[in-house]
Amino acid sequence: MKFKYSNSNKRYYTLDYYYKNRFKDKIIKVSLNAGFSCPHLKTGGCIYCSEIGSGEYAGDVNDDLVTQFNKVKAIMNKKWPKGKYIGYFQARTNTLAPVAVLKEKYETILNLDNVIGLAIATRPDSITDECLEYLSDLNKKTYLTIELGLQTIHEKTAKLINRGHDLKCFTEMVKKLRLKNIDVVVHIINGLPYETKEMMLETVKYLNKLDIQGIKIHMLQILKNTKLEKIYKDNPFKLLTKDKYIEIVCEQLQYLNENIVIHRLTGDPKPEDLIAPNWVVKKIDVLNGIDKYMVKNDIIQGKKVEKN
């Protein structure tokens, strides 16, 4: 069986397929660090983030945005000389500034050659009405996606990880963005402390009832120099095995509508930063395991979508 939104052996809607069918070109996302902060740092930040917040693996903040972009482009041009680019504002909260500042940073990248759009990672509690109007205008001029970190729908877990906003805040922002016809990609994390498989499935089932266009699924990573590292060392909790993670991801995919694009199914931390679990550094093994599990169990994305 070949899934209709895949140009490979995948049984889910791959991002590569989406890009190639929409833009007819190779699309490359360039991770950028625009020097933004996170509004949540003053309350301690999420327990899995370092002291400087998320996005440690984006561009070098000591370089200006154009330099960051061109460093990546120089490498990618060797493999895909005709490729087109999306500027990915990845590090921390990328709407946390006055609109004039956002405009300068975003449009600096949009004005570069062969840039066809932006992906902006942020928090649902950090998009003002003025910012939303600017994003709406931007969306009419270029390809735009807003990435929102949810991680889980369960409030008990959200408080444990110190997420800093509730589910209502997230849901309302998704609706506001969609009223402006802005595409939304949601981040979730499997294996959060004390969550069961059913809880992880419930998160995906909830998202499937919202109007989202994409999803990123990550495995919880315990990284050095985070609050989570101390929690784990002081009171170890059970982490998902690779096989269990693969099983859960495949079942989650069954509950996602077939037209939701799968942007990511696992993370790839730097080995030197990782405390546990060790298996997450072998990204290809995890992705291959997902493919094999879906074939073996005749799973395709959207097969078990629940009715509203």
pLDDT tens, position by position, 182-221? 999 999 999 999 999 999 999 999 999 999 999 999 999 9
Distance in angstroms (rounded) separating the CA atoms of residues 246 and 54: 25
The average pLDDT across 120-124 equals 95
55-68 mean pLDDT: 79
Strands (E), the chain: 27-32, 84-89, 115-122, 143-151, 183-190, 214-219, 222-223, 261-264, 274-276
Quote the pLDDT of residue 52: 47
Distance, C-alpha 246 to centroid of its chain: 18
| Mean pLDDT, rounded, for 31-59 | 71
Q: Is pLDDT above 60 for 57?
A: no
- pLDDT for 40 equals 65
Confidence at 163, pLDDT banded by 50, 70, 90: confident
Q: Write b or e for each residue in 57-71: b if 16 or more Cβ atoms lie within 10 A of its Cβ, otherwise e.
A: ebbebeeebeebbee
- Does residue 123 have a pLDDT over 90? yes
Residue 15 has pLDDT above 80, yes or no: yes
Residue 168 tokens read as 């209502």
Per-residue confidence (pLDDT) for residue 61, from 0 to 100 = 78
Task: Centre a 10 Å sphere on the Cβ of residue 78 and count the other Cβ atoms it contains.
Answer: 7
Give the C-alpha distances (Å, rounded to integers) separating 118 from 85, 92, 217, 295: 9, 15, 20, 34
pLDDT at 70 over 90: yes
- % the chain with pLDDT above 70: 93
- Is the model's pLDDT at 244 over the cut of 70? yes
pLDDT at 27 over 50: yes
* pLDDT digits 0-9 by tens, 224-243: 999 999 999 998 999 999 99
Selection from 132, 171, 129, 178 nearest residue 150 by Cα: 171
Looking only at Cα atoms, what is the longest distance across the chain? 52
Summarised one tens digit per residue, pLDDT across range 254-306 is 999 999 999 999 988 889 999 999 999 999 999 999 999 999 999 999 998 76
pLDDT at 307: 56
Beta-carbon contacts of residue 61 (< 8 Å; ≥ 6 apart):
33, 35, 91
Domains by residue range for the chain, with CATH? 15-185+192-216+256-266 (3.80.30)
Evaluate if residue 53 carries a pLDDT over 60.
no
- Average pLDDT over the chain, rounded to an integer: 92
